[in-house]
Amino acid sequence: MPNMNPKKTPMPEQEPNVRNKNFDEVSYGYTEEMAKNEAERCLHCKHKPCMKGCPVAVHIPDFIQQVAEGDYEGAYRTIKMTNSLPAICGRVCPQENQCEHNCVRGIKGEPVAIGRLERFVADWHMKHGKDEAEKVEPNGHKVAVVGAGPAGLTCAGDLAAMGYSVTVFEALHAAGGVLMYGIPQFRLPKEIVQREIDTLKAKGVEIKIDMVIGKVLSVDELFENGYEAVFIGTGAGLPNFMNIPGEGLVGVYSANEFLTRVNLMKAYKPDYDTPIIHPKNVAVVGGGNVAMDAARTALRLGAESVHIVYRRAEEQMPARREEIHHAKEEGVIFDLLCNPVQILGDENGKVNAIECIRMELGEPDASGRRKPIPVEGSNFKIPVDCVVMAIGNSPNPLIRSTTKGIEANSHGCIVVKDDTMETTREGVFAAGDAVSGAATVILAMGGGKEAARSIDKYIRSKK
């Protein structure tokens, strides 16, 4: 008999006024009892609409059934069939727009908490399960993966499972990409990312850090070194700025820099040498998940006031509802329908205010969202000593600017064939933000999976 409660089983969380002062994870996750209770809300629809919403097609009703039966390890294996990073996806996927968006229970109430269940299963496995590295018969073929973010790691994992010898090259000193440098500890503990990476290593994937492909080795040299195909998952690592006056002032960060200092370089821990400004009053410009992450990070660094400055209304914010909700609970101030026009500084070049103009919404633009229009004469200033620009990233240009034959569009995104993820250069495949521009972890993983299938097909067709 299904649990007909219209609401999701709540997930226990740290109190907002406590958690906004520490970097520990916000949500504690379900207990076994909560998980079973929530799993029983699934109606096991024959047509499995939830699965269609999942970019990597996790067998959702099956794993939920196993949770309901208490077979957590079985549930883990079910998820793992198609998703190599469940502990991460359970935490950072925008489930409300994907699997949960399609859930039949969502019509008359809240959808089944698929994300929370996925997280429960992955965490249960980490605590109780064993990773027996399945030994796959090596097929004697080598593939290079450039970038150890979600796209690259997924592609590498899938290829390794098929028997390929895979080397992942990472430019930073740690694998994980945006999972390590971007998403904060309180939303995605780095130990979890590390654990997933270790699992991949146990499968035989070799990860070489500190290797900037395009500089230290070219794509051509990868082929010369015997790699038969190259996958590019270099992400969207080139921060956008607004090109308004004052962006060169001291105290203006890109979200990437701000978050990298804190997440990858652990600036919030006293025993690390990374310096960071500990701002009193902060404005974060943007309305996506990255903006929420930066705002909540600023609070945790001790800021007294943190403003989100976003040029549209809350409904148009690209951030996940849950993140907006968490940010508000923690005390982030939302200045909506506002757009910065300049950043002001003192005689030492340090930020002391951000000047904004009020906006109103006009007709929908190309993205389908109503276009913000400035209201003349409505300028006002917010006194701040730090501004974080979280208005998106463009694909990193390093590889395509140093490699011949890889075409990119006018936004700098690598051009690929939709169904195969093959670039304009033979044997070179790409996916993730390098192709799509800034998107989500799960979409990057979906692309990485697709590319792994195509790479396998490509190499086998050459035999």
Partner 1 sequence: MFQILQKRKLNDSMTLMVIDAPFIAKKAQAGEFIILRVNEHGERIPLTIADYDREKGTVTIIYQIVGKTTMLLDQLGEGDALLDFIGPLGKPSNLTDYKKAAVIGGGAGCAIAYPQAKALHAQGTEVDMIAGFRNKNLIILEDEMRSVSDKLIVMTDDGSNGHKGFVTDALREQIEGGANYDVVVAIGPLVMMRAVSELTKKYGIKTIVSMNPIMIDGTGMCGGCRLTVGGKTKFACVDGPDFDGHEVDFDEAIKRSRTYYEMEREAAREFNCRLMEGAKNA
Q: Which residues bind partner 1 (CB under 8 A)?
A: 171-173, 181, 209-212, 215-217, 237-239, 241, 243, 247-251, 253-254, 256-257, 260-261, 265-266, 271-275, 277, 348-350, 396-398
Ramachandran angles phi, psi of 343, nearest 5°: -110, 135
Q: Which is nearer to partner 1, 58 or 434 (CB)?
A: 434
Distance of CA 12 to the CA centre of its chain: 23
CB of 201 to partner 1, least distance (A): 18
What is the end-to-end Cα distance of the chain in Å, rounded? 54
d(CA 19, CA 28): 12
d(CA 167, CA 143): 7
CB of 68 to partner 1, least distance (A): 43
| Angle CA 316–320–321, to nearest 5 | 80
Ramachandran angles phi, psi of 361, nearest 5°: -95, 130
**Residue-wise over 253-284: b if at least 16 C-beta within 10 A, else e?**
bbbbebbbbbbbbbbbeeeeeeebbebebbbb
Q: Which is nearer to partner 1, 84 or 260 (CB)?
A: 260
CB of 252 to partner 1, least distance (A): 9
d(CA 116, CA 119): 5
Q: Which is nearer to partner 1, 111 or 182 (CB)?
A: 182
CB of 396 to partner 1, least distance (A): 6
CB of 98 to partner 1, least distance (A): 27
Angle, nearest 10°, between helix axes 60-68 and 32-39?
130
Q: Which is nearer to partner 1, 272 or 380 (CB)?
A: 272
DSSP 98: T
CB of 74 to partner 1, least distance (A): 38
Distance of CA 285 to the CA centre of its chain: 19
Q: Which is nearer to partner 1, 34 or 388 (CB)?
A: 388
Q: Which is nearer to partner 1, 181 or 334 (CB)?
A: 181
Q: Which is nearer to partner 1, 237 or 446 (CB)?
A: 237
User: What single letter denotes the amino acid at residue 182?
Assistant: G
Angle, nearest 10°, between helix axes 441-462 and 150-161?
40
CB of 206 to partner 1, least distance (A): 15
